[in-house]
Amino acid sequence: MSQKLNKLELTWIGKDDERPAIEPRILVENPALACGEVETGTLPNGKPWPGNMLIHGDNLLALRALEENFTGAIKCIYIDPPYNTGARIDSDGKDIGYEDGLEHSTWLNMMYRRFEILHKLLREDGALFVHLDDNESDYCKVILDEIFGRENFMNRVTVDARSPSAFSTVNPGMFVASEYILFYARNRSKLVENRIRTPRNPDYAYNKYIVDFQRPYTEWKFIPVSEAFSQNVTLRSNNPENILKAYNKFIIENADRICRYTAISDSGAGAKVVELKKQSIANPNVLLRLEREGLDDVYVINGQQLAFYSKNVQIIDGQLQASKLLTDIWTDIAWEGIAKEGDVTFRRGKKPERLVKRCIELSTSSEEDVVLDSFLGSGTTSAVAHKMGRRWIGIELGEHAYTHSYHRLRRVISGDDNSGISKTQKWHGGGGFRFYELAPSLLNEDKHGNFVINKAYNADMLAAAMAKQEGFTYQPSREQYWKQGFSSEHDFIFTTTEFLTVESLQHMHEQMAEDESLLICCTRFQSECNNRFPNITMKKIPKMLLGRCEFGRDDYSLNIIALPEMEIEEDGYDC
């Protein structure tokens, strides 16, 4: 296999091969696994929001199923795809549904197809975060540059993901501690990137303390912060660690009266500030003030401006802390101790809730914003989004959809999950979600090589599937049974497996308005029905579907299938 850059595009074996169309599957809700009180609403694209969604099935097919209603509706996507490390087992040591050790070109093809759909799903002001390690991050960036555009690349975040240990440092070479998050905007000019500050130790360059701070500024006096600390704090212990802790606390609690002198640039500062600087130099040791409407006042003494430390103190995770602006190197998020987060074990793939929270904080601001993770794994992204009050969609292929994601999210909703960000978000439970199975292929191949309708499809499922196949919105009418879906105000679809007669066709036509049209998808009909009415089109299932997609096969294996007509053990799934 060879890769090369050609006109800023990455090429690999199979990239330009003609790929079969992805079958537009339907999502089948499983009411037995619904949990909590589900809140519905409307999406930014005007389509209905069904409530938080946990989906079990192959994520490529599930993403395709979401396209119809969720194109341009997702605000934030965080994914942690397989790293292509060569491992053939999951984080718990079991065989996995997708192989995290795919041939390089296969991995690229897999991700390329998914990124194409994820790009469509994002809002114009949406953002994508892709979490990877060294194995594929550089190749992945070139793919994303091609699909999203290089101009929409925001950052490559370096994450300090692990610390050397006696076991892991036995191998020769440099210890690998970093992982990476590729951050892209759907449209950089539309994305509002929220400013985030992170905790740090106080900056001791702010070394002046204002005495009589409550009095008029002309009466202020300045003493060293250390002197003010000695005068105002009584220590119970002379332990250096306790002294430093108390000193840092004093700085944070008095940040509005702690300051330092900063230079004033004659070319960079405003004309009024520069003029005040000149007056200050002409009047040594006199504190001058410039009042500014809508902005902080400027204080100048001896030609230098007072910079107050209060600008660097902020409430972070519910606590007042010294802070600094977030950079593209994240070393402040602990990975140790996350094993118990969510009450699920996921030894090699689990991400800290605080890490995902930061990505969601960077790119969302409203409870109406939808967060999507199509490689949900242990359920971290959905759990974090729920605790932050965001809408969410999570997709997981294998048994982890039940054993990890479902279990974890049920505990979040019940308020039993006190781990991760629960404390800082003051999370005590609430909300809910719906559980969906990705329907199997609509058509199966029988022993004679003929394609037939999958027996797993009941009448409602078939009607919904055909509506999706033909680009209609499935929404059965209560008044007219033949109006099962619509593509416009006047165009409707009807699907039936019953033998369609001229009489039944005549009955439907008599109920139609002059400007209405109807597409009928059926398995059998009288020959006299064909072309009988100009505003009714007849199509025969399954013949009408052949050649569109690769029917009759799945690109994944389901460990547990729970379609409506199948029984589900309710033990352990009560909400």
pLDDT in tens, 5-47: 445 678 887 787 777 788 899 999 999 999 999 999 999 999 9
What are 522-544's pLDDT values in tens digits? 999 998 998 899 999 999 999 89
Number of Cβ atoms within 10 Å of the Cβ of 346: 21
Q: Does residue 138 carry a pLDDT above 60? A: yes
Query: Please, which pLDDT band fits residue 562 given cuts at 50, 70 and 90?
Result: very low
In DSSP terms, 208 is beta-bridged to 224, 259
Instruction: Identify the CA nearest to 124 among candidates 41, 77, 189.
Output: 189
Q: How far apart are CA 387 and CA 49, in angstroms?
A: 19
The pairing of strands 319-325 and 48-49 is: unpaired
What are 214-264's pLDDT values in tens digits? 999 999 999 999 999 999 999 888 888 999 999 999 999 999 999 999 999
pLDDT at 566: 33
Q: Does residue 325 carry a pLDDT above 60? A: yes
Q: What is the mean pLDDT of residues 103-121?
A: 90
User: Are the C-beta atoms of residues 526 and 502 closer than 8 Å to each other?
Assistant: yes
**Longest alpha-carbon distance in the chain:** 104
Query: Please, which pLDDT band fits residue 177 given cuts at 50, 70 and 90?
Result: confident
Please give the structure tokens belonging to residue 372.
């999507």
Q: Does residue 414 carry a pLDDT above 80? A: yes
Q: Does residue 554 carry a pLDDT above 60? A: no
Which range has the worst mean pLDDT, 321-330, 366-375, 557-566?
557-566
Backbone angles phi, psi at 504, to 5 degrees: -70, -35
List strands edge to edge, sheet with 491-500. 473-474, 485-486, 491-500, 517-525, 536-540
Residues 78/84/90/93 CA torsion (nearest 10 deg): -150
What are 50-81's pLDDT values in tens digits? 999 999 999 999 999 999 999 999 999 999 99
Q: How far apart are CA 171 and CA 21, in angstroms?
A: 45
Number of Cβ atoms within 10 Å of the Cβ of 224: 11
3-state secondary structure of 469: helix
Q: How far apart are CA 382 and CA 395, in angstroms?
A: 10
pLDDT at 557: 36
Query: Please, which pLDDT band fits residue 558 given cuts at 50, 70 and 90?
Result: very low
Round the average pLDDT of the chain to a whole number and report it. Answer: 88
Q: How far apart are CA 235 and CA 140, in angstroms?
A: 55
Q: What is the mean pLDDT of residues 457-471?
A: 94
Which range has the worst mean pLDDT, 53-62, 87-96, 458-467, 478-487?
87-96
pLDDT at 553: 55
Which residues, other chains included, contact 276 with Cβ-Cβ below 8 Å and sequence gap of 6+? 288, 290, 298, 300
pLDDT at 204: 95
pLDDT at 337: 81
User: Are the C-beta atoms of residues 301 and 285 closer than 8 Å to each other?
Assistant: yes
pLDDT at 50: 96
Q: Does residue 362 carry a pLDDT above 70? A: yes
Q: How far apart are CA 145 and CA 151, in angstroms?
A: 8
Alpha helix (H) ranges present in 31-92? 59-70
Residue 276 burial class via C-beta count within 10 angstroms: exposed 0-12, middle 13-18, buried 19 and up? buried
Number of Cβ atoms within 10 Å of the Cβ of 48: 12
Q: Does residue 100 carry a pLDDT above 70? A: no
**CA dihedral (359, 362, 366, 371) positive or negative:** negative
Please give the structure tokens belonging to residue 311.
């600008």
Query: Please, which pLDDT band fits residue 169 given cuts at 50, 70 and 90?
Result: low
Q: How far apart are CA 432 and CA 300, in angstroms?
A: 55
Q: Does residue 348 carry a pLDDT above 80? A: no
Q: How far apart are CA 271 and CA 326, in angstroms?
A: 31
CA 230 to chain CA centroid, Å, is 49
Query: Please, which pLDDT band fits residue 102 given cuts at 50, 70 and 90?
Result: low
